[in-house]
């Protein structure tokens, strides 16, 4: 096969690739200079839509509706946009070998791609129960959600198992969002997770108590402190039961597993410096290999605000790190410099009528404000995290755009706090006056 050669290649076709392409276009990339190589069959899209509106029975989202960059209020980049800009999209193309020293990528079909500058934007892959040899984990109707193909298969199953039983394995982001979506689709929902409360990496027990109560009031059964250790299937090979470690057995027509992901960096093992499970970069997303950059989920980068080195799995960082890398690439070509990446960690989620946002770091003492009673109409509560006498993180449920801006500012400014009881009494008004 003929070798293809480009000045810039982005490997991976997710959110980061789309935002990088837009930044390249802004910076005046010439037709034929940039290629995006993606194993998915569609142009880059906003991945968060998959666990939300894509699965709704009404008001569903479908492509081309959520191609990047609509998730941040930007122009929607349809496949034609890439053509107009002279950016080559190689879809359904999986890279199976990367030779960084030779600046060469090889696809499963044997195509060779040469580049001058590479951006690694391969993102994460889901952790599968089959990876751990869980009995029956390869049964039909056990789903994971990462790509649009996964979402399409899940939709088919929801239609086929109308009013059936769904078991959600995992109590993190995906578990909570898909538990809500399954309920909205009139499935009988049970959620199973090993931790003492949902989303333990971010939520305090007080925050979690609200969501668990809210979900329970919606008719979702929550089973904590145990894990799925096996599945039984019917004569068609379709899952029918989930066996739990505590001996319980749950009936299931559909199982959705959300037990985390891992960065897709195996192609680059031994060729590039790693740290904390990702590819180590500087504040411009340059790796230890010249002309190779890493962005989004795969990058372990200096988090200036907390004077720390971190890896962040979130769409907001995927977008911003991609833009930073492209600006850095173009600046270095022109002998200019740009500001270091100064990221404020941001997480959010929407389910049912709820919508929360979190900014900063969840370390130190916590102060709950407002009412976290699941029956409070409408819910409005939050939490401050205070470390070394300063507010370092803020969580807010059902904030207005202005209030969400205010809590972001607090997390960025890190104002001093002398009295935690006073902070509790002030609640949201503390954030509003910073």
Listed by start position, the domains of the chain span 4-125+262-333, 129-259, 353-432
In words, the CATH class of domain 353-432 is alpha beta
Overall pTM surpassing 0.85 (yes/no):
yes
C-alpha–C-alpha distance, residues 380 and 370, integer Å:
6
Same fold, 4-125+262-333 and 129-259: yes
For 305, phi then psi, to 5°, come to: -55, -35
* Backbone phi, psi, residue 173, to 5°: -50, -60
| CA–CA separation, 175 and 275 (whole Å) | 28
| CATH architecture of structural domain 4-125+262-333 | 3-Layer(bba) Sandwich (3.50)
Distance CA 206, CA 235 (A): 44
Handedness of CA 238, 243, 134, 216 (dihedral sign): positive
User: Do the beta carbons of residue 342 and residue 397 sit within 8 Å?
Assistant: no
Q: In terms of Cα–Cα distance, which of 31, 7, 86 is closest to 291?
A: 7
Tokens of 350: 């929407």
Q: What would the two tokens of residue 160 be?
A: 């086929």
CA dist., res. 247 & res. 393, Å (int): 39
Q: List the chain pLDDT tens, one digit each, 434 residues.
A: 779 999 999 999 999 999 999 999 999 999 999 999 999 999 999 999 999 889 999 889 999 999 999 999 999 999 999 999 999 999 999 999 999 999 999 999 999 999 999 999 999 999 999 999 999 999 999 999 999 999 999 999 999 999 999 999 999 999 999 999 999 999 999 999 999 999 999 999 999 999 999 999 999 999 999 999 999 999 999 999 999 999 999 999 999 999 999 999 999 999 999 999 999 999 999 999 999 999 999 999 999 999 999 999 999 999 999 999 999 999 999 999 999 999 999 999 999 999 999 999 999 999 999 999 998 788 999 999 999 999 999 999 999 999 999 999 999 999 999 899 999 999 999 999 98
Burial class (CB in 10 A: 0-12, 13-18, 19+), 433: exposed
Q: Which CATH superfamily is domain 129-259 in?
A: FAD/NAD(P)-binding domain (3.50.50.60)
| Burial class, 430, CB count within 10 angstroms (exposed 0-12 / middle 13-18 / buried 19+) | buried
- Contact between residue 193 and residue 175 where contact means Cβ atoms under 8 Å apart: yes
Say how far apart CA 329 and CA 145 lie, in whole Å.
33
Q: Nearest Cα to 389, choosing from 364, 411, 361, 421? A: 364
What residues contact 132, with CB distance under 8 A and at least 6 apart? none
Distance CA 78, CA 69 (A): 10
Residue position matching structure tokens 């892959």 = 125
As a whole number of angstroms, the distance between CA 55 and CA 166 comes to 14
236 in helix, strand or coil?
coil
């Amino acid at each position: 096969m003929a070798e293809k050669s480009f000045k810039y290649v982005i490997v991976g076709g997710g959110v980061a690739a789309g935002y990088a392409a837009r930044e390249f276009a802004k910076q005046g990339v010439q037709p034929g200079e940039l290629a995006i190589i993606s194993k998915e069959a569609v142009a880059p899209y906003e991945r968060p839509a998959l666990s939300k509106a894509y699965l709704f029975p009404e008001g569903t989202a479908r492509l081309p509706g959520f191609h990047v960059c609509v998730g941040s209020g930007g122009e929607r980049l349809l496949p034609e946009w890439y053509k107009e800009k002279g950016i080559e999209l190689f879809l359904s193309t999986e890279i199976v070998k990367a030779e960084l020293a030779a600046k060469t990528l090889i696809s499963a079909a044997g195509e060779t791609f040469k580049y001058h500058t590479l951006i690694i934007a391969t993102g994460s892959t889901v952790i599968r129960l089959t990876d751990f040899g869980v009995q029956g984990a390869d049964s039909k109707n056990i789903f994971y959600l990462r790509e649009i193909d996964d979402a399409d298969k899940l939709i088919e199953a929801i239609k086929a198992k109308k009013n059936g039983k769904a078991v959600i394995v995992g109590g993190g982001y995906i578990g909570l969002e898909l538990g809500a979506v399954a309920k909205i689709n009139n499935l009988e929902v049970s959620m199973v997770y090993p931790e003492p409360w949902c989303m333990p990496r971010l939520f305090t027990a007080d925050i979690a108590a609200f969501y668990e109560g809210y979900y329970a009031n919606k008719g979702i059964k929550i089973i904590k402190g145990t894990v799925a250790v096996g599945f039984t299937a019917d004569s068609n090979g379709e899952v029918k039961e989930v066996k739990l470690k505590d001996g319980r057995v749950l009936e299931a027509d559909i199982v959705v597993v959300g037990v985390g992901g891992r960065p897709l960096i195996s192609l680059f093992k031994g060729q590039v410096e790693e740290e904390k499970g990702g590819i180590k970069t500087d504040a411009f997303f340059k790796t230890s290999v010249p002309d190779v950059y890493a962005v989004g989920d795969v990058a372990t980068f200096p988090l200036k605000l907390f004077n720390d080195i971190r890896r962040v799995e979130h769409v907001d960082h995927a977008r911003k790190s991609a833009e930073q890398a492209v600006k850095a690439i173009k600046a270095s070509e022109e002998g200019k410099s740009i500001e270091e990446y100064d990221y404020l960690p941001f997480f959010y989620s929407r389910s049912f009528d709820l919508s929360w946002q979190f900014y900063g770091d969840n370390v130190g003492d916590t102060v709950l404000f407002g009412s976290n009673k699941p029956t409070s109409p409408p819910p409005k509560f939050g939490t401050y995290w205070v470390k070394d006498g300063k507010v370092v993180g803020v969580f807010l449920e059902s904030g207005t755009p202005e209030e969400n801006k205010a809590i972001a500012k607090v997390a960025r400014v890190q104002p001093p706090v002398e009295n935690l009881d006073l902070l509790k009494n002030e609640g949201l008004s503390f954030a509003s006056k910073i």
